[in-house]
Amino acid sequence: MKLTGILMHLQAKNNSMLKGKKIVLGITGSIAAYKSCLIIRGLIKRGAEVQVVITPAGKEFITPITLSALTHKPVISEFFSQRDGTWHSHVDLGLWADAMLIAPCTASSLGKMANGIADNMLITTYLSMKAPVFIAPAMDLDMYRHPSTQHNLDLLRSYGNHIIEPESGFLASGLEGKGRMEEPEVIVDTLNKFFSEQSSQKSSGNQTSSSCGEKHGGELTGKRILITAGPTYERIDPVRFIGNYSSGKMGFDLAEECRRRGAEVTLIAGPVALECSPEIKRIDVESCAEMYDAAVKAFADSDAAILSAAVADFAAESVSPTKIKRGPDGLTLKLKPTHDIASSLGKMKKPNQKLVAFALETNDEENNAKGKLERKNADFIVLNSTRIPGTTFGSDDNKIKIISRNGSHEYDKKPKTEVAVDIINELEKIL
């Protein structure tokens, strides 16, 4: 078993796009700094060379001795290492690295990076960096969603930085929400994918990269995009409903990606435990009828609609005003079809409007999606399948195929934040 594990590790290292890459890892003063050890281990396992630069506050959470033991390099924190004129050159680090990763990155460091406040070694290294920069924010949910933080993130994206979005989850404050730093293995995989795509683009002569949620310069500025997300709940009685397992993550990631590119976004959300940026106009609904009314109204003034919601296809023909009691004969429900939102918007669609629909299939996926493309009068269909483990409902990852009248393109399994980039890239082409 040990020999098998060693062989698998060597094979993964040989196949890694991080092999031989020089990575500067910036660590700031966050409780998530302990995860930097796992990031270092993941990078080194894939063959990368890691140099840590840590802020003074970062050393309060994790010691340089630990980090040095993992990287086999002295940790850099101060401008001057001794009193004999020896100093650390942030310029040399900027020239040495193939990439810089700042994980965790606090709200304070985000602000300094966005506004060029070079008061510590990490920020001066960032400002001198010639290589791509990846930033993994980590902070409490209120700090993350504050307009100043979102503004700083938008500035950093506009500079060409890659933001590795935080996750929603349990936070150090005891609260739950978005702000938890992405998991180390996902961060390492993000860098590996970046270098893999970069290598593929060089091979094909295409130098354009849109990975990791990089802002594309506001190409959607002035565009109004309608997005539906999450499930709908169709009531049976005051305490029961017909629904599905949709978390809404895909739709919310699409909304954020459109916002980053300058669009005016209206997000119609079913019952989900997610939050969005304050710049997004959010309309919360419960039933298909409510989502239908909101979507029809918003679509009239929209340039495009992306219908990612998992709308219930059926509702109870009659809803009991009181709780239905358990009986020996069980419960029989008579169901009626709900509104077909995609079909309705397809009939409303003007020549200058675009419509993107989703198809979640369990079998005969591509034929079903092609049929939906025609029936709904959509410009393209985003197809995903329940047969692919670790994707679709409740997952942070997805694997899609985009189907249009001009053909289809299949994408690798990846985080939904990156899937959103692929989908909006396709939408931009036809807007």
Query: Do 385 and 361 form a contact (C-beta atoms < 8 A)?
Result: yes
Place of tokens 């009828």: 289
Asked if 288 and 341 touch (Cβ cutoff 8 Å), the reply is yes
Give the span between the Cα atoms of 304 and 282, in whole angstroms: 16
Distance separating alpha carbons of residues 93 and 23, to the nearest angstrom: 10
Phi, psi of 328 (to 5 degrees): -65, -20
* Cα separation, 229 vs 99, whole angstroms: 35
Q: Which two tokens stand for residue 147?
A: 């307009």
β-sheet bridge partners, residue 404? 380, 407
Reduced to 3 states (helix: H, G, I; strand: E, B; else coil), residue 409 is: strand
Tell me the β-bridge partners of 134. Answer: 101, 162
Closest alpha carbon to 279 in 261, 299, 294: 261
Asked about 120 being catalytic, the answer comes back as no
DSSP state of 231: B
> Cα separation of 307 and 305, whole Å?
6
> Which of the following is catalytic: 15, 206, 244, 406?
244
Report how far apart, in Å, the C-alpha atoms of 393 and of each of 13, 179, 203, 416 are: 32, 21, 35, 11
Alpha helices (runs of H) in 28-78, residue ranges in sequence order: 36-45, 64-71
Q: Are 268 and 225 in contact (CB under 8 A)?
A: no
> DSSP for 364-391?
SHHHHHHHHHHHTT-SEEEEEETTSTT-
Q: Which two tokens stand for residue 286?
A: 């419960």
The overall longest dimension of the chain from CA atoms, in Å, is 89
Mind telling me the catalytic residues? 244
